[in-house]
């Protein structure tokens, strides 16, 4: 009986530590990157806003198909190369300055945003991804076993390669 009680205490300690990690990890985490391009902002916006073309340049995306609109916002079904699929809602598409899409994977809400500006004769791009996780257990799981997803610096570098430019994005 004493061994059983000790095992219960050890198990309770492990569960408590796991839950504690979820309490400590921030609910919302944002990563960002920026770079400059020779390409003008309208062409950068067009590449990002045309979600159908993402398999051509986005490192994670395998295929994209259009879905019926949701609250007058375009919807896309995205399948990644690792087999993960999700529906993405484009909530902001202000040509040629802003594009934002949101999707949910495993209970985590992801918001991907691109901002474009003129920079001399070319363009400047700023990309951010915010991951919002309400559930404490999911935060702990995501912290300990994060899924591989290209961060904003990788997305901007992939966009540069798509336009034939050298990748040079910087993290913020």
Q: Where are the domains of the chain?
A: 2-171
| 8 A C-beta contact, residue 168 and residue 35 | yes
Place domain 2-171 in its CATH homologous superfamily: START domain (3.30.530.20)
- The 10s digit of each residue's pLDDT in 98-145 is 999 999 998 899 999 999 999 999 999 999 999 999 888 788 887 787
pTM (2 decimals)? 0.86
In whole numbers, what is the pLDDT of the chain averaged over residues?
Answer: 91
Q: Which comes out higher in pLDDT, residue 28 or 68?
A: 68
Residue ranges of E strands in the chain: 28-37, 61-70, 73-80, 85-94, 98-105, 108-119, 122-132, 170-171
Instruction: Please determine, for residue 25, whether its predicted confidence score (pLDDT) is greater than 80.
Output: no
């Amino acid at each position: 009986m004493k061994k059983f009680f000790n095992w219960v205490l050890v198990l309770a300690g492990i569960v408590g530590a796991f839950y504690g990690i979820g309490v400590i990890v921030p609910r919302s985490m944002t990563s960002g990157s920026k770079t400059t391009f020779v390409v003008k902002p309208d062409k950068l916006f067009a590449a990002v806003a045309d979600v159908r073309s993402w398999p051509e340049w986005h490192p994670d995306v395998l295929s994209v198909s259009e879905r019926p609109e949701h609250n007058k916002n375009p919807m896309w079904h995205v399948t990644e190369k690792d087999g993960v699929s999700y529906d993405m809602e484009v909530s902001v598409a202000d040509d040629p300055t802003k594009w934002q899409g949101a999707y949910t994977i495993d209970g985590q809400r992801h918001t991907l945003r691109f901002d474009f500006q003129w920079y001399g004769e070319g363009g400047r791009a700023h990309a951010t991804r915010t991951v919002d996780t309400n559930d404490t257990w999911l935060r702990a799981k995501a912290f300990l076993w994060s899924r591989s997803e290209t961060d904003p610096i990788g997305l901007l570098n992939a966009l540069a390669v798509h336009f034939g430019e050298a990748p040079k994005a910087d993290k913020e």
